[in-house]
Structure 1
Amino acid sequence: MARARKPLTQQRGDLTEKKKAELEIQEKAIIIGRDDLAKPPEWLVDHTAKEEFKRVVKELSRIELVGNLDMAMIGAYANAYSGYVRASRNMKGKNMIVTRTGKGGITKAKNPLISIQEDYAREMRVFANLCGISIDSRLKAAEAKNAQIEDEIEEKFGDI
């Protein structure tokens, strides 16, 4: 299976000016709009999810990492975030261990809300990775930006 092509800003090899121009044109051709992200989708579960959607889109827009094709992933992340917040609020003041009385007597078990929190946290991690808001994704973006700055400095001043 072939490796995914790196963006121009992440390429480290010696590229001719012609090759750089070609790659730049190719990259510009795949840039997508952001108009679908202007407001949260109607299918988000509540106000918390809508606010998180807006916050994430705003932050990702600052580093130009988001487009219309990301709407579903950001929305899914926002819904998972909202569920996590809801479960956390419901856990507040409750015991981590619950007791149940049944045919076998009294048993102790983990509060089911903990499992719900864990499920939502896992979902948030998956969607965060997919839509570029995980720490790893941001570090890769920062690395690419730093490489671009280094290339611009080298191009302007040469080896110092």
Structure 2
Amino acid sequence: MSKIRKSLETQTKHLTQEEIKRKQLEQESVFVGNDQLECPPKWLVNKCAINEWIRLVEQFNKKSMISNLDYNNLGAYCNAFARYTSIVTNLKTDVMIVEDVNPLVNLELKYSDEMKRYGALLGLTMESRLKTGNRLVTTTEEKIHDEFGDV
């Protein structure tokens, strides 16, 4: 079984300068740009999904590993988000119950799970952002220590 590949920012293993350079080259070689993310896809289900797309793309910055290759995952996340919010809104007012269970509750759970899955793929979870932040801070501290020592 192969290891899960991590971006340089989320690495916890101590890497040599040669390994760091190699990983940087690997990441640069697979990053295909993010210009396609500027416009939401036409297949998003409603205005809520489009607004979520726009909100997330604004939050991503040039340092983000989110790229054109994440286009479909981002769209699927936004659709799941839109459906989830619609179901939650309907659950507030809908009293339809079938065999003691409101079918909207099952749909709510389904789309919640779908959002979690796509969110993790896109780095939208707190854990993934904290890992990246931790690695960035550690890398900065190491650079400062390497340059100035124990001053």
What interval of TM-score do these two structures reach, taking the shorter chain for normalisation? 0.7 to 0.9
- TM-superposed CA distance for 1:156, in Å, is 2.1
Tell me the equivalent position of 1:105.
none
Distance 1:63 1:110 in 2: 45
- Once the two structures are TM-superposed, the CA of residue 151 in structure 1 deviates from its matched residue by 2.2
Mapping 1:68-83, distance limit 5 Å: 68-83=68-83
CA RMSD of aligned residues (A): 2.3
Q: Distance in 1 between matches of 2:112 and 2:75?
A: 15
What are structure 2's unaligned runs of at least 5 residues? none
Q: What residue number does 1:15 align with?
A: 16
Match of 1:38 in 2: 38
Match of 2:103 in 1: 112
Structure-1 residue corresponding to 2:85: 85
Q: Between Structure 1 and Structure 2, how many residues are aligned? A: 150
Higher helix content, 1 or 2: 2
**What is the match of residue 3 of structure 1?**
3
* SS of residue paired to 2:100: strand
Q: Residues 70-122 of structure 1, C-alpha deviation per residue, up to 9 Å, x if partnerless?
A: 11111000000000111111112344x73x6xxxxxxx512111111111111
Determine which structure has the larger strand proportion and give its number.
1
For residue 66 of structure 2, what is the aligned residue in structure 1? 66
Q: What is the rounded CA distance, in whole Å, between the counterparts of 2:146 and 2:119 in structure 1?
A: 35
Which 5+ residue runs of structure 1 have no aligned equivalent? 101-107
Q: Distance in 2 between matches of 1:51 and 1:120?
A: 18
Is contact 1:57-1:66 (8 Å) kept? no
Question: Is the Cα contact below 8 Å between 2:7 and 2:27 reproduced in 1?
Answer: yes
Whether the aligned pair in 1 keeps the contact of 2:53 and 2:74 (CA below 8 Å) is yes
Tell me by how many angstroms 1:19 deviates.
Answer: 4.9
Match of 2:125 among 119, 134, 151: 134
Moved more, 68-77 or 135-144: 135-144
TM-score by length of 2: 0.84
Per-residue Cα deviation, 1:34-92 (whole angstroms, up to 9, x for no partner): 01101111110011001101111222326513111111111000000000111111112
Q: Which moved more, 1:49-58 or 1:18-27?
A: 18-27
Asked if 1:29 is matched to 2:29, the reply is yes
Residue in 2 aligned with 1:125?
A: 116
* Higher relative contact order, chain-length normalized (CA < 8 Å, sep 6+): 2
Give the superposition deviation at 1:23. 3.8
Distance 2:8 2:149 in 1: 19
Query: TM-score w.r.t. structure 1 length?
Result: 0.80
Match of 1:109, SS?
Answer: coil
Percent identical among aligned pairs is 30
> How far 1:7 sits from its partner (Å)?
3.5
Task: Please say which structure displays the higher CA radius of gyration.
Answer: 1
Quick one: structure 1 residues 89 and 154, their matched pair in 2 at CA, closer, same or farther if it must change by over 3 Å?
same
